[in-house]
Amino acid sequence: MDGRIEDVFAAQQARVAQRRVTQGLAARRAALDDLRRAILARQDDIVAALAADFGKHEVEVRLTEILPVLQEISHSRRHLRRWMRPRRVMPRLLMIGTSARVVPQARGVAMIIAPWNFPFQLAMGPLVSALAAGCAAIVKPSEMTPATSALVAEIVAQTFAPDLVSVVQGGADVATALLALPFDHIFFTGSPAVGRIVMAAAAQTLASVTLELGGKSPVIVGPDADVGRAAKWIAWGRFMNAGQTCVAPDHVFVHDSKRDALVRALQDRITAMYGSDPVASPALARIVDQRNLDRLTGLLQDAQSAGATLLGGGTGQAAAGKLAPVLVTGTTAEMTISGTEIFGPILPLIPYDDLDQVLARINAAPHPLALYVFGGPVLADRVMRTTTSGSVGVNLTVMPFIHAGLPFGGVGTSGMGAAHGHAGFKAFSHMRPVLRNRFLVMPLLFPPYTDRVRRLATWVQRLVT
């Protein structure tokens, strides 16, 4: 194992007890303020790093990478005093004579494993929650986005002492070495396949985990949907970051009566966003690497050879590393595109006339990270009552992830635990119950079990039940 990794972990672990005394409200707010100042000072560098790794447009970087982290800092700082305050728990009859509280306590040393698709936001966002909770953290950014990972390491090194926050860069071997260490909490964002590896490693040290995974997030466009509004939100959510977004719409179930109108509206939106030649547009990000570009073009070739129709786009341009947005119709359940998370600028459109069949299909698949519904409140309520998903968006996409006041997390293969705001604070905190005895009468029921004690126990049982 890399000696530096062990040294950094040991330094952070050695100060766990001390931090629980010193990392009070003022120290935690100061750490959040330091991070905010560092991010604001390096905004141009963040934009440049994401352009180098992805070709992301400056506006997209600011809206999806920088702004969510600054919002998380502001929200956490504003509410931190209340989050840290012990919560009083009123006694039940059997506990009369005691006082009870739930006291949030920092878990200790946390590891944050960030993915490549939003490499700044998904490294720094969980770090905000760790600092708010009073934890030390080791951040492992993705090796697939080297410019952003190097910048994250530089910002952290210039802002924090290494025994509070450190960044360790490297590939799978570094992640494996980190996972062998007895962290108090592991926060992982990535694929379900790697999530299983992380959870298995955490089981060896009994570390708690937060797993932010993925899945095929469906959209339902009902017969009463506003097609223009639906197309605007679906196109933005699907093609932002070239579709490499864990909560992006993966496929669209569209009512027969709205199919043709939605196809036209989506095609118009793609042209409005990216022009007549999307691969030449600076607003369309690159696919992260050639392997993923080949995977996406393979999905299209497989679908087309099996009878699906591609409506515009889909022409991979190897020099630019881009794939034009493409709509796919005529897919079947047997096609690879129907059974795997697409994670690219490809959007299957699936017509339906029976909502029950759509709901059955959603329920038969692994629980998605997000589910989106376009239509009136009757449709939305029915979908929410009969399905399970990490989050639900009604007449919008992606935004439940960005809302700082909402917990964000998946269910089953799409994740475990929750992040953002108070949920993120609690993820890195142990909610410690404390019970104090003032005049509890429980000793009256201690052995020896005389007739008087038996009568008293029977009376207490009747009283409390």
Write down the catalytic residue from 60, 65, 212, 341.
Answer: 212
- Report how far residue 197's alpha carbon sits from residue 341's, in angstroms, rounded to the nearest whole number: 19
Indicate the angle between helix axes 25-41 and 67-84, nearest 10 degrees. 170
Q: Is 246 a catalytic residue?
A: yes
Task: Give me the DSSP letters along 173-197.
Answer: HHHHHHHTS--SEEEEES-HHHHHH
Q: Is 212 a catalytic residue?
A: yes
- Report how far residue 423's alpha carbon sits from residue 328's, in angstroms, rounded to the nearest whole number: 37
In this structure, the strands spanning 218-221 and 429-437 are unpaired
Residue 209 phi, psi (nearest 5): -135, 150
The size of the chain, in residues, is 465
- Report how far residue 11's alpha carbon sits from residue 161's, in angstroms, rounded to the nearest whole number: 10
Check residue 145 and give left, alpha or beta (phi > 0: left; psi -120 to 50: alpha). beta
Which single residue is written with the structure tokens 């959209």? 219
Among residues 434, 239, 425, the alpha carbon closest in space to that of 344 is found at: 239
Write down the catalytic residue from 60, 65, 135, 246.
Answer: 246
What tokens appear for 154 in the block? 């530089």
> What are the beta bridge partners of residue 211?
188, 416
Which single residue is written with the structure tokens 């201690």? 446
- Enumerate the active-site residues: 212, 246
